[in-house]
């Protein structure tokens, strides 16, 4: 039923006790998200790109849930707890305008993908040290036309997240220095641009899989010396860094510098 131009409300599936997968994305469904508390066998629920409203219901009874995708419509309220969903591997709640803080996901040790981008989230970034299977973490904000997260505080350590491939924290209000990512050998994309980060850029020489590093729109120091020392990063990596007053691009394939500008959220 994915992409079939369905309209109306999401029907009641409370009598479908054996239901494991429900995919209703890319339709025109309206109203609120019904309770799926009776569907204890549910593993995959995709309701993205509809016209749903209201809050996200509790999924505490859905202990078999592996994938929940609700992105791109206008919900209200906060992110519910997913502590009971220990089988959860993918959670996408991006582009829906949620408020509040980011809850702990320490119980979700199977979690591989988490996107909470383009909401109205505040507070600090919790530790993800228990989420050793995590591959993608996106807590960023988009353009001015999208909701804007405003996460503060420092970037926590991701030393335990050795499977991490993408970390996107851009357009928040993060402060402090950039932590070491030496243990994140699988890291391919690191976007920390348009925050309030200070201090020197650490070495990324150990991140041999890194292909995209974007740090512009911060107040980082020692940029010219860091750019000159090509041993601090893998060859072939696209790198975009800047100071508070100027933006500098360093493309490893050409070793060229050019200027530009960045607008913070």
The arithmetic mean of pLDDT across residues 209-217, rounded, is 94
What pLDDT does residue 147 have?
65
Task: Supply the pLDDT for residue 232.
Answer: 84
pTM reported for the whole predicted model: 0.90
**Who wins on pLDDT, 256 or 201?**
201
Contact 39, 65 (CB under 8 A): no
Is the predicted pLDDT of residue 251 greater than 80, yes or no?
A: no
Distance CA 109, CA 86 (A): 7
Q: What is the number of alpha carbons within 13 Å of residue 144 lying toward its C-beta? A: 3
- Token pair in block for residue 255: 């070793």
d(CA 263, CA 265): 7
- Lowest mean pLDDT, pick from 34-43, 62-71, 194-203, 255-264: 255-264
Is pLDDT of 114 > 90? Answer: yes
Please report the pLDDT score of residue 190 as a whole number. 97
91-116 mean pLDDT = 96
Distance, CA of 9 to CA of 122 (rounded, Å): 31
* Mean pLDDT calculated for residue range 186-214: 95
Which whole number is the average pLDDT over 139-145? 75
């Amino acid at each position: 039923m994915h992409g079939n131009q369905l309209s109306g409300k999401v029907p009641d599936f409370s009598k479908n006790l054996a239901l494991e997968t429900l995919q209703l994305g890319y339709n025109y469904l309206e109203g609120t998200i019904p309770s799926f508390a009776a569907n204890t066998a549910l593993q995959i629920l995709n309701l993205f790109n509809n016209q749903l409203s209201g809050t996200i219901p509790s999924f505490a009874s859905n202990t078999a849930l592996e994938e929940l995708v609700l992105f791109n419509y206008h919900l209200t309220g906060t992110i519910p707890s997913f502590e009971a969903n220990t089988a959860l591997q993918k959670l996408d709640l991006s582009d829906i305008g949620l408020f509040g803080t980011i809850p702990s996901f320490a119980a979700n040790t199977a979690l591989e993908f988490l996107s909470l981008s383009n909401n109205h989230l505040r507070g600090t970034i919790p530790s993800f040290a228990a989420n050793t299977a995590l591959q993608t973490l996106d807590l960023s904000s988009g353009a001015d036309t999208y909701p804007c997260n405003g996460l503060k505080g420092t970037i926590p350590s991701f030393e335990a997240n050795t499977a991490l491939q993408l970390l996107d924290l851009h357009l928040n209000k993060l402060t402090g220095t950039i932590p070491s990512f030496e243990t994140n050998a699988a890291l391919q994309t690191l976007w920390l641009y348009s925050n309030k980060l200070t201090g020197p850029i650490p070495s990324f020489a150990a991140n041999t899989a890194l292909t995209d590093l974007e740090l512009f729109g911060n107040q980082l120091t020692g940029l010219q010396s860091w750019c000159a020392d090509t041993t601090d990063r893998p060859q072939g990596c696209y790198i975009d860094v800047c100071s508070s007053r100027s933006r500098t691009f360093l493309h490893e394939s050409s070793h060229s510098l050019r200027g530009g500008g960045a607008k913070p959220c």
